[in-house]
Structure 1
Amino acid sequence: MTSSASTDGLNAIIAQIKDKKHPPVHLWNPEFCGDLDMKIARDGTWYYLGSPIGRKPLVKLFSSVIRYDDDGKYYLVTPVEKIGITVEDAPFVAVEMFVEGSSQDQVISFRTHVEDFVIVDKEHPIRLTIDASSKEPAPYVLVRANLEALIIRSVFYDLIGLGVEKEVDGVRHFGVWSSGEFFDFGVMDELFEA
C-alpha cells in the first residue's frame, strides 16, 4: 500500500526514527555461543524449532538485536552472547511505502513488518537484483548497519510507478529519486526487454 504522506506525516516518521533507539549491537563483541534453530523466512516470519513465533513483541525484541557480520552470517547479539540464526533472504520486509513530493524533490520512506521506519537516502539506498534464471526482480532497502528489508511485491509495483528514466553516459537508465539521490535500477533496455 502506498500512502501519500503530508509534511506532518514525514516529520512524524523522522521523529520516530530519531526516537527509536536500537541497542548498540555493533559495539558488542561477546563470545560466539553456537547456532540456534531460529530462522527468518523470506516473508519475514520468524521460526523457532520449526514453529512460527506468533508473539509480535518477541519478534520485535529479537529484530532489535540482530546483526549481520563480515563472515556473511546473521546473529542475535547481547553484551554477553552471540548466537547464530538463519535468514532466508533479508531480516526485514518493507510492507508499506510513503511518498512526499515529486520528481527529484520526492522523499520515499518505508515501514517494515517490525515497525521500523526508514527514509531512502544516501545512507539508506534501494538496490535491485535480478535472478539470473527466473529474471525475477528482488528490491531491497538498507534499514540499518548492513541489515536490509526485502520490499514486498505490491509495494515494489507502487515503487516502479514512481520510476523515471535518466540518461547516464549516453545510456537510458531506470530508477527512482529520493532525498535528492537517484537510485538506479538498471539499463532501460535490459530491464524492460520484450
Structure 2
Amino acid sequence: MTDKLAAIEQQARKGRNFDTPPLHLWHPPLSGDIDIRIAADGTWYHEGRPIVRPALVRLFASLLRREADGDYYLVTPAEKWRIQVELHPLVVTEIDAEEEGGRHLLRARLNTGREVVIDAAHPLFLEPAVGEVAAVRLDHGLTAILSRAAWYRLVDSAEDVDGRAQVRSGDEWFPLQ
C-alpha cells in the first residue's frame, strides 16, 4: 500500500463514526489525485491492482462523496483526494421486499454491506448508459447501479400501473421503463 493510501486509512480511523461519518462537515483543501479507480462493475483498484480487502473498500466507500464539479473524492477532516469512477461508485447486490408497519418497502443491499431503503430520499432512476437498468441515489451525491441479479428480482416484483411496469416502496412508485 502506498504512503497516500495508508495515510488516508490512518486518518479515517481516528475517532471515526464508521456508519455515518459527517462528510458534510469536512471541507479540507484538495490534497491531489490518488490512483484509485472504481470500475463499472464496482471493483476498486489502487495503482491498477484490485483492492482485495473488503474492510478497506467499505472504509473508503464510507469516505466517498461526489461534489458539484461531478468528481468523486475520498474525504477526511484533514485530506481530500480525487479518485476516478467509471460509472457508479457502488453496486446494489440484493433487493429485498419487506413489510414494516403495514408498509411495503424495498431494501437495497450494497456491495459494501450497507443497506438503504428505497424511498423519496433514496429514489430509483433508470441509467441510460447500461440499457435503462435501475440505479439508486444515495447520500453525498453517490449512486449505486443494480447488479443483474438485483435488477431481475426488481423487475420480477413490478406491477402494471397505467400500462407501465413500476415498483412501490413506502409511499413512492418508481417506473422501470
Q: TM-score w.r.t. structure 2 length? A: 0.83
Hey, what does 1:162 align to over in structure 2? 157
Query: Residue 148 of structure 2: which of 150, 153, 157 is its match?
Result: 153
Quote how far apart the aligned CAs of 1:180 are.
1.7
Quote how far apart the aligned CAs of 1:157 are.
0.7
Query: Helix, strand or coil for the counterpart of 1:76?
Result: strand
Gaps of 5+ in 1: 1-18, 187-194
State the distance in 2 between where 1:29 and 1:45 align. 27
Hey, what does 2:14 align to over in structure 1? none
Is contact 2:63-2:74 (8 Å) kept? Answer: yes
**2:175 equivalent to 1:180:** no
Deviates more, 1:139-148 or 1:79-88: 139-148
Per-residue CA deviations over 1:119-150 (Å, capped at 9, x if unaligned) read 0111111111334xxx7223101232221111
Quote how far apart the aligned CAs of 1:173 are.
2.5
Query: Helix, strand or coil for the counterpart of 2:149?
Result: helix
Give the partner amino acid of 1:165: D
Per-residue CA deviations over 1:147-193 (Å, capped at 9, x if unaligned) read 111100111011001112222xxxx332111112101233xxxxxxx
Quote how far apart the aligned CAs of 1:49 are.
0.3
Is contact 1:105-1:177 (8 Å) kept? Answer: no
State the distance in 1 between where 2:140 and 2:133 align. 20
Is contact 1:26-1:67 (8 Å) kept? Answer: no
Query: Helix, strand or coil for the counterpart of 1:54?
Result: coil
Q: How many residues align?
A: 159
Query: Helix, strand or coil for the counterpart of 2:127?
Result: strand
Q: TM-score w.r.t. structure 1 length? A: 0.76
Is contact 1:95-1:152 (8 Å) kept? Answer: yes
Quote how far apart the aligned CAs of 1:74 are.
0.2
Hey, what does 1:14 align to over in structure 2? none
Q: Report 1:45-194 matches (<5 A).
A: 45-101=43-99, 105-131=103-129, 136-167=131-162, 172-186=163-177
Quote how far apart the aligned CAs of 1:55 are.
0.8
Runs of 4+ in 1 over 4 A off after TM superposition: none
State the distance in 2 between where 1:94 and 1:159 align. 11
Is contact 2:127-2:134 (8 Å) kept? Answer: yes
State the distance in 1 between where 2:53 and 2:19 align. 21
Query: Residue 29 of structure 1: which of 27, 30, 36 is its match?
Result: 27
Is contact 2:23-2:76 (8 Å) kept? Answer: yes
Query: Helix, strand or coil for the counterpart of 1:145?
Result: helix
Q: CA RMSD in A?
A: 1.9
Per-residue CA deviations over 1:7-34 (Å, capped at 9, x if unaligned) read xxxxxxxxxxxx9732111221100011
Is contact 2:23-2:63 (8 Å) kept? Answer: yes
State the distance in 1 between where 2:50 and 2:25 align. 30
State the distance in 2 between where 1:179 and 1:75 align. 32
State the distance in 2 between where 1:70 and 1:143 align. 15
